[in-house]
Structure 1
Amino acid sequence: MAWHPGAGGDGAPSFITRNCSAPMSTGIQPAANRSTHFLFDHKVFTVDGCRFILSKTNDEPVMCMKLGKLDVEIPIEKLSTEFGIQPKSFDGQLLTMAAKGLRYVREIRPGDTIPNELIDGTASWRVDERHYNVAKGRLTVQLVTWLTGGETVVSSPEQLEQVVEDPNTKARVHEAFRMIANRLSLAGDPEEEIGLHIDMLAKELSYIEALRERALALHKVRQGLETAHRIYKAERMVKEEIVRMQTLSLPPIADLESRFAQVDAQTGEILAMLRKFDQNISYIREMRDDLHQSLLPWDEVLDGWLTVTVEKSPELEALMKRTYHFLAKRYSQATQWRLATRPAPK
């Protein structure tokens, strides 16, 4: 995936690219930007190495900092009492925002921008133009299908591009615009308004397409484990661990596939989406955040499986060890799997 590089400086994989800035310069008054940036007053937030993350031990939001040679973690919920920060003060409110923000980014430092999801609902990470093109292509196919009453199934981006650029498709899309505008009784320039709505839907759905692409990459983990199982078939303990990893990895991947199917079902009827436009935008964003939060932890191991050569080697064995720890921690069989469903817009 060719994700745009971010400016967060947190060492996170490119999948979670975010729009964030360096700490503000001393020439800018912090109070003027607290609605968009983590600009704290208390001196504790200037300590070397200060940053907010989810603890590796229990996924609890914590503030990390250096005290001499020690790396210290303090739960965010205890910071107020430890340092006399009033919950309703600016710093107290920013701490609450930081805890929420870690659902969307892996790390927050003083001076970073507040994730967009908490400000205006847009995403704090970026996608490639191809994801927008795929989303726009799918909507175009829906328009033509709605107009003709037939059923057109187009899956590959190349096929979608061919359909979108076909002159007959463009003519049918304009005809669909006119008919939908009449159905919705739009005023002003109804065709222009429909076109703008389609573009906005494509922009929001482009994030779903980007997440879908990332989720499909998880099958590299499954394929790698299958190959490793054959390679290490004579080593009983290693083989048993691989089987355990295969068992643990299947439910979360199947769960993600179900979520994408749910989004596709809900956004599959173009007229219904346009009739309840604002509600559907909110729905897409909520599902985007659910999917993003579910995929984010996989960055711990996924890029390793995308680059490793699956052959008997210390590198593969180290990756399998890391993967086993990751899966056992997050997806034990005791975990109760529940599809993160969202009610259909009303």
Structure 2
Amino acid sequence: MSQGIQPGPNRATHFLFDHKVFTLEGARFILSATTEEPVMRFRLGKNDAEVALDKLCAEFNIDPKSFDGQLLDMAARGLKYVRQIKPGDSIPNELLDGTASWRVDEKHYQIARARLTVQLVTWMTGGETVITSLEHLEQVVGDPTTKARVHEAFRMIADRLALSGDVEQEVEKRVDLLAQELAYIEGLRERMHLLAMIRQGLETAHRIYKAERTMREEIVRMQTLCLPPLADLEARFAQVDAQTGEILVMLRKFEQNIAYIREMRDDLHQCLMPWEELLEDWQALQGAEMPPLDKGPALEALLKKTYHFLARRFSQASQWKLANRRPPK
């Protein structure tokens, strides 16, 4: 937040506004569906209205340096991490202390810890390996000799890092903290894999409507539009895996790598967020057991929504290039 008047403890963590405009029915901050710019949306009679956040201060005579003005700036930045913000909501953690404002499951931590365990064990043999197969991970981690090798790796790494005190405990602590951060990458990786449902749904729809030229051509267009952003996502995950693939470097440049993982966590989260609503619609249509898609109004409405989403966000005129983030120094 800007210098000058500083908010009290509550306003340091929550969107607590003074101006009455923020008490309007349905007031919330979102990214505009048309411009993708931060706006405040609210009910106006029977309709929804929205005002761009960069115009809100002028429209309602709000001093940008006031508490409300500072919180508006925070809300605009917060929409990078959450889909909507309502007055009274907590400020996303990413803006406060760098941690994530969303949760992952215990299984994601276990996967991250298992991958680091494999890196520790294979590092000792000079053939450090990054394993992505969950089945292979379970086999290696479940091997009775793995635990002994991990403790040996702790001692060897502590010696390389010239640590003092309880060196094994310090190395184990760093590995655990890395696993906690990488758990978010695993949670996002799982989310990315769910996008295959959309791709598979389009393949099925193509077969269903193969005799209808217009529908078939629109589906082919959707399949084409899907390819660059999904390939870009896969490349971003590959970049994270490559950058976090050397356990000794990860532990030696510990703080820098924690910062890097968080940076990529936020980057991947922002790439995946726009897909969430569409993915939920495909999941609702197909259900958990992935029953066959049926030709009909429900599928056609979803295809129309999918087409609009892809055409608006991922037209072929857009350039999809992997963000070249420099590795930690």
1:190 Cα offset (Å): 1.0
- Does 2:300 correspond to 1:317? yes
What is the aligned partner in structure 2 of residue 25 from structure 1?
Answer: none
User: Quick one: which amino acid aligns to residue 78 of structure 1?
Assistant: K
SS of the equivalent of 2:49 reads strand
Q: Distance in 2 between matches of 1:145 and 1:334?
A: 44
1:48 touches 1:66 (CA, 8 Å); kept in 2? yes
Q: Distance in 1 between matches of 2:191 and 2:157?
A: 34
User: Quick one: which amino acid aligns to residue 328 of structure 2?
Assistant: P
- Does 2:312 correspond to 1:335? no
**Cα distance per residue 1:152-183 (max 9 Å; x no partner):** 56433344234223321000000000000000
**Cα distance per residue 1:128-148 (max 9 Å; x no partner):** 000000000000000001012
**Kindly, what percent of the aligned residue pairs are identical?**
71
- Does 2:15 correspond to 1:38? yes
- Does 2:278 correspond to 1:295? no
Counterpart selection for 2:170 from 193, 206, 221: 193
Q: Which moved more, 1:171-180 or 1:312-321?
A: 312-321
**Cα distance per residue 1:251-294 (max 9 Å; x no partner):** 00000000000000000000000110000011011111111001
1:151 Cα offset (Å): 5.2
What is the aligned partner in structure 2 of residue 130 from structure 1?
Answer: 107
2:26 touches 2:41 (CA, 8 Å); kept in 1? yes
Counterpart selection for 1:146 from 106, 120, 123: 123
Q: Distance in 1 between matches of 2:39 and 2:130?
A: 47
2:128 touches 2:246 (CA, 8 Å); kept in 1? no
1:297 Cα offset (Å): 0.6
- Does 2:192 correspond to 1:215? yes
Q: Distance in 1 between matches of 2:132 and 2:82?
A: 30
**Cα distance per residue 1:275-319 (max 9 Å; x no partner):** 100000110111111110010011121123234242312211111
User: Quick one: which amino acid aligns to residue 320 of structure 1?
Assistant: L
What is the aligned partner in structure 2 of residue 24 from structure 1?
Answer: none
**Cα distance per residue 1:175-234 (max 9 Å; x no partner):** 000000000001111111111100100010001011111111112211111121111111
- Does 2:201 correspond to 1:224? yes
Q: Distance in 2 between matches of 1:152 and 1:335?
A: 35
SS of the equivalent of 2:75 reads helix
Counterpart selection for 1:77 from 14, 37, 54: 54
Distance 1:304 1:69, change over 3 A: closer
User: Quick one: which amino acid aligns to residue 282 of structure 2?
Assistant: W
Q: Distance in 1 between matches of 2:249 and 2:139?
A: 26
User: Quick one: which amino acid aligns to residue 265 of structure 2?
Assistant: R
Counterpart selection for 2:182 from 176, 196, 205: 205
The TM-score normalised by the length of structure 2 is 0.93
SS of the equivalent of 1:31 reads coil
SS of the equivalent of 2:42 reads strand
What is the aligned partner in structure 2 of residue 58 from structure 1?
Answer: 35
User: Quick one: which amino acid aligns to residue 198 of structure 1?
Assistant: V
1:46 Cα offset (Å): 1.2
SS of the equivalent of 2:30 reads strand
Give the RMSD, CA atoms, in angstroms. Answer: 1.4
What is the aligned partner in structure 2 of residue 254 from structure 1?
Answer: 231
Q: How many residues align?
A: 317
Q: Distance in 2 between matches of 1:344 and 1:193?
A: 24
Q: Which moved more, 1:123-132 or 1:165-174?
A: 165-174
Q: Where does 1:116-127 land on structure 2 (aligned, <5 Å)?
A: 116-127=93-104
Q: Distance in 2 between matches of 1:273 and 1:151?
A: 13
**Cα distance per residue 1:36-87 (max 9 Å; x no partner):** 1001111111111111011111111001112332321010001111111111
User: Quick one: which amino acid aligns to residue 322 of structure 2?
Assistant: L
The TM-score normalised by the length of structure 1 is 0.89
1:47 touches 1:65 (CA, 8 Å); kept in 2? yes
Q: Distance in 2 between matches of 1:289 and 1:222?
A: 24
User: Quick one: which amino acid aligns to residue 343 of structure 1?
Assistant: R
Counterpart selection for 2:161 from 184, 188, 196: 184
What is the aligned partner in structure 2 of residue 278 from structure 1?
Answer: 255
SS of the equivalent of 1:243 reads helix
Q: Which moved more, 1:164-173 or 1:117-126?
A: 164-173
Q: Where does 1:85-96 land on structure 2 (aligned, <5 Å)?
A: 85-96=62-73
**Cα distance per residue 1:89-115 (max 9 Å; x no partner):** 111110000000001101101110000
Q: Distance in 2 between matches of 1:328 and 1:94?
A: 33
